[in-house]
Structure 1
Amino acid sequence: MAKTSDKTKKEAEKRRDYGRYKSWFWTVFALGISAIVLLFLLASWGVFGTMPTFEELENPETNLATEIFSSDGETLGKYYNENRTPVKYEDLPQHLIEALIATEDERFYEHSGIDAKGTVRAAVYLGKRGGASTITQQLAKLLFTENASKNPAARVLQKFKEWIIATRLERQYTKEEIITMYLNKYDFLYQAVGVRSAAKIYFDKEPKDLNVEEAAVLVAMLKNPILYNPQKEQFKDNALQRRNVVLSQMEVNDYITEEEKDSLQQLPLNIEFSPQGHDEGVATYFRVYLQGFMKDWIEKNPKPDGGKYNIYRDGLKIYTSIDSRMQQYAEEAVEMHISHLQKEFDRQNKNNKTAPFRDITAEERNNIINDAMRRSERWRILKEQGLSNEEIAESFNKKTQMQVFSWKGNKDTIMTPRDSIIYYKSFLQAGMMSMTPQTGEVKAWVGGTNFKHFKYDHVKQGKRQVGSTFKPFVYATAIDQLHLSPCDTLPRSLHTIEAGKHGNQNDWTPKNSDGEYNGMVSLKKGLAESVNTVTARLIDRTGPKPVIDLIGKLGIDTRNIPEVPSIALGTADLSVFEMVSAYSTFVNEGVYVKPVIVNRIEDKNGTILYQHVPETRDVLSKEAAYVTVNLLEGVTQYGSGQRLRGTWATGADHYKRAVTGYPYDFDRNEIPIAGKTGTTQNQSDGWFMGMVPNLTTGVWVGAEDRSVHFPNITYGQGATMALPIWGIYMKKVYADKQLNVAKGAFPRPEVVTIKTDCSSYGKAGMDGENDLPDELDF
């Protein structure tokens, strides 16, 4: 009986202990659940940090890059703080979505933001068998929480925030929208923010064009964009292995077959790295000018709420007039010609004791270098650091490691900053612009040879002496005022405009470059051969003011052009931009069309904010414009531009060995070309203005400083320095049949009373030697 009592007593104690344990268990469980609930509540109330509002969830803040489009639909570049350009879900390839889900969140379509099974697994195995973050949680972390803290307690609290935001995102957005937002937000490095930028930078493709293995590479980077980056040499093996893990996950989840997996895993990475920095890509100089255009537009066009647009984060779309193909051809032409011309320039400077400068004193040379030092970024930075001018100047004489530009690629070297200034001064530069005369659309814009190393834009920013390319303005004025014919003749003899006439302070007697002053010459040949005495006679008759009035109507800034006869020979400093727009008026039957670079601007939603409206004005009669073009055709038939037809002038054989792309052999019957070369007196500037019926292109070549130039006219003339760029470019343009650049004759007005066909005069039509046409009496 006693034993039974003891047994009963022990059982009673066990029941009491079990009850206590049970009570404790449920108490601890309840407290745990309450703590978790409390933590969720505290997190949702913002105790652990600010939580996003409903409005923020509806419109999560992102920095969207402004994208620049060419007229043929290609992306020219972007303006951004973060290089993010959003892509729509329907533009994502299915295998990219499948790779993402298979690798990052297998139960994505089953949960509501938190994967309970994955969370328990991660807690039990302490993350050794995979994490628990869903795609939605990862998006929450990208959008609304900071980077993971190294403090375990802080990381746990942050996790609660991610869970709450993830569940809110799931209520607010569809699964497709969450995937799209996540891929648009993720930073893949190398300024590739978002999957569209990543596809362009790592594979030079749009996302929809990615194949399976390329999509797997990008998904592999989601785990760690540094450790699994295919561009970083030390991590390429990691990237390959991780890509193959993604492919295995796709096979496990039945998105690809085992055979496909095995085949794809054998492929190399095949990266086509295409960086999109502000210094890289096409149309770099144009994009900088466009930046200024946008700044002015933003000042004048506020948002509906009164705020200002931001090109670095508002995701604007700018549709420009530039044609990406023509832009590429223009850049190739500049590089092809200048890289070869530079070799000859360097060769001729080997025995030049003042290289790269010529015709200046030692004092002038030092002044140029010292001015360049004071304008340099190095000087600015050291000045901000508090160094004196003497200390800064001394630092320019200390050798240092640097990377410098060369036509064979950037090279590492050791030199003083002062010597680097002299080194860069020795490079030839170019400015080139191409425009459709009838619409004003700028189709190509090359402001220099390499934007990363030479920031100065020689299309709009730079103004240089135009030489004989100014003469057609004098001829056009004379034709418009005096009704002259290309067949009319004038004497080659010296002509003096006396002091006091036309505002001249001294007697002015220009000389001909060939030293020839005998006989008569037709206006057509006078312009073709740039006979200075003929041009002097014309401006003496018209006066300089009507010429200045004309070029002002042609879009040229005349404020710094003196009203004197010597402007006839091109003493004015003008830009390539001004010259192209002015010459285009001749082709466009006397109607000036203001150049256009932007056709349309849209906001990120596609709403049109700006639509270009053409600005035009009548400047010349159709007849005067046509006769001027006819005169300019003579340059490529009989004058300095005839090498475009396969005919070479003196010194051409030497030049032909130095430069590629010859002969051009543009058929004179098939492709009419009107144009004009220009050369300054000391060979520091070479110009060529070339026109076909629906395209006007201007080219300038020279060095940064006018004292850096060729020693003689053989290489230092426009026909050698600038014309070849036009020839190479137009060869490429005509070879691309999709561009539809016209080959037919220039448009002729219905009524032309001025005689342009000089063939009835025989040789006199050009030479003015026999059976002369009408001689002008002035």
Structure 2
Amino acid sequence: MLLYVLILIPFTPGIGDIRKAKVEQPAQVLSADGKLLATFKPSNREWVKLQDVSPHVIDALISTEDHRFYEHHGIDFKRTASAALHTFSGDRQGGSTITQQLARNLYPDEIGRAPTLTRKIKEAITAFKIEAVYTKSEILETYLNTVPFLYNAYGIEMAARTYFDKSAHDLTVIESATLIGMLKGNSYYNPVINPERALQRRNIVLAQMVKYQRLTPAAYQTLQRRPLGVDFERQTEPPGPAPHFAQQLRKWLIAWADANDYNIYSDGLIVRTTLDSRLQTMATQALVWQGNQLQTVANSVWGTRNACSAHKDVFTAFVRETPEYRAAKQSGLADDAALKQVESDHHLMQSLCDDKTRVQAAFIAIDPRDGEIKAYVGSRDFSDDQYDHVQQARRQPGSTFKPFVYGAAFENGAKPDDTFVDQPVEITLAGGEIWKPTDDTPPSGRPVTLRDALAYSKNRITAQLMEEVGPSKVARLAYSMGVRDSRLDAVPSLALGTSPVTLKEMVSAYSTIADRGAYIPPMFVTQIEDRDGNLLAQFRPARPEQTLPPEAAQTLLDVMRDVVDKGTGTAIRTRFGIRGDVAGKTGTTQDDADGWFILMHPQLVAGAWVGFNDSRVTLRSDYWGQGAHSALPIVGDFFQRALRSRLVDPRAKFVEEKQTGLFDSLRTTIGTWWGHLFGADNKAAPQKEKPRAPRRAPAVSTSAAPSAPAVPAVPNATAPAASSAEPRDVEPPQIVAPHGASVPPLLSPPAAANGAQGAQGAASANGAAAGGLSPGLASPVPNAPGGTSPSGQTSLDQWVNQHTNGAGASSGTSSGASQ
């Protein structure tokens, strides 16, 4: 037996693991301004000190579970022998001490729960080790904070809140006895489901307290007749100020911790992020406020008080998709009978209507100078909808995609004052179909400048420009500027935003415009520290990648100023009073299924999307359905708050390239020639470097961010059609990360310093929905059309060929987005 015990010792938790569990701390996520955003706990548990627990709980626990707790060293040999004798005689009894139970709670995998001799020996060995490391008070504290109490409540604090709506410090004698009584069998003695059993068990605990002189007999006679007094309420973890952001960060952090031998639930990691808690609050308030306004419109339009009676035809299609309808059909009922049966359940119909007509929205703000994400709101209410509409949902961007068409044209040498005639447009596609884009006003027959065409979101002019530039070039430019995870169909209607993309991609691409054509991958982590504040890893922005010539980007930005000065986004000026140097674009998809607006400021680029989870549901309003009236107010309200609070400088200006006159050019040329000829040391006027927007000094990185497997997000399966061919969710461009590494979900922490500074990363094969790039790495720049880079990365031309349909593919016949 002794030999068997010695053999089992290596198969039990080590002293180091036990010491680690003694100081277990979950990772804390902090904002850039030092506010707590999230705590990554493995379960719904709140750790409380032993002195903050009612003494009645401790008395009830020791009296019932281990009355010689302070006398033994992990195993009560008397109790073990007594339990063995009773078990051999047919009356099975447990002999585990509190320390042994703690061993099972802390290490269920290592010890197991099978009623075998091996398990008991492992349990005993681990109990001895715990007693060697922990004091008795620490054992009690750890036990009370780790024991489960059903309903996702772990520990005495969450149990007290769940069953009695109070803190563990305030538990009375009978409440303490009720909770300790559950330890014998949580489900069997559940005071909510089985109150009679729970009452009997509670009184047994009270009797044990009398037996071991922790309760007087007189008090027992009074207390045993009292009811349980349960005040039940399920406890849910508070979502925090940025729940969708934290949700995506958790995925990345788990991969980082695994690669660097850390545990996010116990090692006390401190993760400092780029998010600004003040801007996050403003974004959330703006989104909730506008969402509530639009919900009132949706309720009126759909007749939600009477289960969507206003649009019976569409709602009937929803009913046919329910499990109840399918069950009715499988039972043999005809279609009409099955519909009638399901529709007779008024509660089901109302619930279905409310769910389908719930307005959704999303918002993200990025600093264009370094790619830092400053605000991130994934839905109206995380409690109701945990689906992340920032980086999971792919929706048609409508006219917010048009700047890529104009950017490609300006790169080709077009000027803002170039004109196209506003006339009917018919474009013949490869399959013989005719695409006829339209506007909400008839053709005027007059020439329209490119500046006005973008400002007023003219579909016919944009379609003609697209035909001249070429869909492949536009798709290539959009990809390089930031739309790197969604498939773009290189067809004429792409000009009107018919290929579904994510809000994160679009705001990232607009940040490229704001930074004079330089793309920087979005980043969300600046550094990671241990529990003592020691730096474990520090990250910096990725190296900028020039994707659009600065002159073309500057021209595009200037033209987009007119959108808010005189075009479809004038409410930014007139309604929200924003007087800063800003530019932007509205977007509305066919049938008003999606509303978009993105606004660029030198220090912040913010975008919002508004719609419904099911794109067959719309606001059905020519006014409210437009991005200028649905999404723009979210961005406008946010910027109004941010500018007033001076978190964003209202006086900031976009840095523009100084136009050089003929005389200046001649002087520079002569000066350079003179310097070369006579060896003048920089005395002649040199060619000035083109000015750029001011950048923050990048932090020195001390550790490389690890690569992690990408977790593809659930695509939006019901994206609205803007063409006869239904847009579909597709895989992203497959681009190999350096050294064959896979990449983490969502976003990239910025580049790390140990050799990754000049490396180029990219989205992994299955990182589409996550929108992820390899942490600490810039995105790939193809070396030559149709080829691959030396690192094996797919070139941009290869991506276009592999992941677009080609210019001749069908794009449908409808007009697509209008504004």
Q: What range is the shorter-chain TM-score in?
A: 0.5 to 0.7
Change (3 A) 1:272 1:733: farther
Corresponding residue for 2:552? 624
Alignment of 1:75-224 (within 5 A): 75-76=37-38, 78=40, 80=42, 82-84=43-45, 143=106, 169-174=130-135, 178=139, 181-182=142-143, 184-187=145-148, 191-193=152-154
The letter of the residue matching 1:276 is E
* 1:639 equivalent among 542, 558, 567: 567
The letter of the residue matching 1:480 is E
Corresponding residue for 2:631? 722
* 2:615 equivalent among 679, 686, 706: 706
Corresponding residue for 1:589? 516
2:237 partner SS: coil
1:574 partner SS: coil
Q: CA deviation at 1:470?
A: 1.2
Corresponding residue for 1:490? 419
Corresponding residue for 1:59? 17
Matched, 1:695 2:604: yes
Structure 2 Cα separation of the partners of residues 747 and 231 of structure 1 = 63
Matched, 1:748 2:655: yes
Structure 2 Cα separation of the partners of residues 77 and 197 of structure 1 = 16
Structure 2 Cα separation of the partners of residues 401 and 57 of structure 1 = 62
Preserved contact between residue 75 and residue 128 of structure 2 (Cα < 8 Å): no
Q: CA deviation at 1:326?
A: 3.5
Deviations along 1:144-190, one digit per CA (max 9) or x if unpaired, are 899xxxxxxx9xxx999999977754433356754664465355766
Change (3 A) 1:534 1:113: same
Matched, 1:579 2:485: no
* 1:555 equivalent among 447, 472, 482: 482
Q: Which runs of 5+ in 2 are unaligned?
A: 80-95, 110-114, 200-230, 662-819
Structure 2 Cα separation of the partners of residues 703 and 712 of structure 1 = 14
Structure 2 Cα separation of the partners of residues 323 and 273 of structure 1 = 31
Q: Rg: which structure is higher?
A: 1
- TM superposition score normalised by structure 2: 0.57
Preserved contact between residue 586 and residue 596 of structure 2 (Cα < 8 Å): yes
Q: CA deviation at 1:709?
A: 1.9
Matched, 1:666 2:577: yes
CA RMSD of aligned residues (A): 6.1
Change (3 A) 1:356 1:693: farther
Alignment of 1:265-276 (within 5 A): 275-276=236-237
Q: CA deviation at 1:717?
A: 0.6
Corresponding residue for 2:29? 69
Change (3 A) 1:351 1:142: closer
Corresponding residue for 1:459? 390
Change (3 A) 1:134 1:507: closer
Preserved contact between residue 426 and residue 437 of structure 2 (Cα < 8 Å): no
Q: CA deviation at 1:313?
A: 8.0
Q: CA deviation at 1:421?
A: 3.7
Preserved contact between residue 399 and residue 414 of structure 1 (Cα < 8 Å): no
The letter of the residue matching 1:349 is W
Structure 1 Cα separation of the partners of residues 325 and 528 of structure 2 = 37
Matched, 1:330 2:283: yes
Structure 1 Cα separation of the partners of residues 434 and 655 of structure 2 = 41
The letter of the residue matching 2:593 is S
* 1:564 equivalent among 487, 491, 508: 491
The letter of the residue matching 1:513 is D
2:587 partner SS: strand
1:346 partner SS: helix
Deviations along 1:111-147, one digit per CA (max 9) or x if unpaired, are 786999xx9xxxxxxxxxxxxx99978856855899x
Matched, 1:414 2:341: no
Corresponding residue for 2:295? 342
Preserved contact between residue 274 and residue 523 of structure 2 (Cα < 8 Å): yes
Q: CA deviation at 1:293?
A: 4.3
Corresponding residue for 2:399? 468
- Structure 1 or 2: more helix by fraction: 1
Q: How many residues align?
A: 604
Q: CA deviation at 1:688?
A: 0.8
The letter of the residue matching 1:59 is D
Q: CA deviation at 1:475?
A: 1.9
The letter of the residue matching 1:691 is M
- TM superposition score normalised by structure 1: 0.60
Preserved contact between residue 398 and residue 497 of structure 2 (Cα < 8 Å): yes
Preserved contact between residue 461 and residue 575 of structure 1 (Cα < 8 Å): yes
Change (3 A) 1:469 1:222: same
Corresponding residue for 2:458? 531
Structure 1 Cα separation of the partners of residues 98 and 355 of structure 2 = 51
Alignment of 1:346-495 (within 5 A): 346-350=299-303, 369-370=319-320, 372-373=321-322, 414-415=347-348, 420-482=351-413, 484-485=415-416, 488=417, 490=419, 493-494=422-423
Structure 1 Cα separation of the partners of residues 10 and 509 of structure 2 = 56
The letter of the residue matching 1:427 is R
Structure 2 Cα separation of the partners of residues 480 and 144 of structure 1 = 62
The letter of the residue matching 2:499 is A
Deviations along 1:290-336, one digit per CA (max 9) or x if unpaired, are 455467768xx6566xxxx8877887765544444444433333322
Alignment of 1:167-316 (within 5 A): 169-174=130-135, 178=139, 181-182=142-143, 184-187=145-148, 191-193=152-154, 275-276=236-237, 280-290=239-249, 293=252, 302=259
Q: CA deviation at 1:566?
A: 2.9
2:519 partner SS: strand
Structure 1 Cα separation of the partners of residues 565 and 467 of structure 2 = 27
Structure 1 Cα separation of the partners of residues 298 and 74 of structure 2 = 69
